[in-house]
Amino acid sequence: MKLKVCGMKHNIAEVAELKPDYLGFIFHEPSSRHFDEAIPSLPGNIQKVGVFVDESIEYVVGQIENYSLNAVQLHGHETPEYCRLVKTTGITVIKVFSIKNEFDFSILTNYEEVCDYFLFDTNGKLPGGNGYTFDWKILQNYPSTKPFFLSGGIGLEELEQLKKFKETTAATYCYAIDVNSRFEIEPGLKNIEDLKKIKTSLSFRT
């Protein structure tokens, strides 16, 4: 299982030293983690993910080029056609779906051909970074074989729950864990010691 640290803004180089598989940069101005600076040089095995919320295709493509992004994470109401257009750039496409108490998995059908990964997050007031989890048991009904990222309020308090989840059928296609707000000192400033703990405890492969 791989690790993605999202909402990067301040101590990027320090987090990169931990060798997560993905670093997420949020290109959404209302976010307290909105990124508009330069990304420092990163090890080649760290994938740079740009997070977008209902932006124009032109803006997304521009940021892909400006920051040499490896993947885009679409966190809004992007349609399958929108995802297809982004995918024509040759970049990895991660489409986010928000879950609260239930989820209609049939929604995924039209996205199967135009996305590389799905990401399941908590349905809350914000597009992301709400700080609490959804009921992972819902994923027992996951009908696809497409690998997915598990996100939504994951912190150190969920370590035991994560270990148990990894042993369930619901985790069969869980490709990566995505962490953000629960591993911060303040928005965009990551808690290095806490990140070390989750990386060690879950034995993420690199």
Residue 71: inside a domain:
yes
pLDDT for 131 equals 57
> Tens digits of per-residue pLDDT, 46-71?
999 999 999 999 999 999 999 999 99
Report d(CA 173, CA 139) in Å as an integer.
Answer: 10
Q: How many Cα atoms sit within 13 Å of 54 on the Cβ side?
A: 4
* pLDDT over 70 percentage in the chain: 94
Q: How many domains does the chain have?
A: 1
User: Does any domain span residue 206?
Assistant: no
Q: Is residue 29 in a domain?
A: yes
pLDDT per residue over 73-128, tens digit each?
999 999 999 999 999 999 999 999 999 888 999 999 999 999 999 999 987 555 54
Looking at the chain, the whole-number percentage of residues with pLDDT higher than 90 is: 83
66: containing domain: 2-201
In whole numbers, what is the pLDDT of the chain averaged over residues? 92
CATH of the domain at 115: 3.20.20.70
- 119 in any annotated domain: yes
12 assigned to some structural domain: yes
**pTM for the structure as a whole:** 0.93
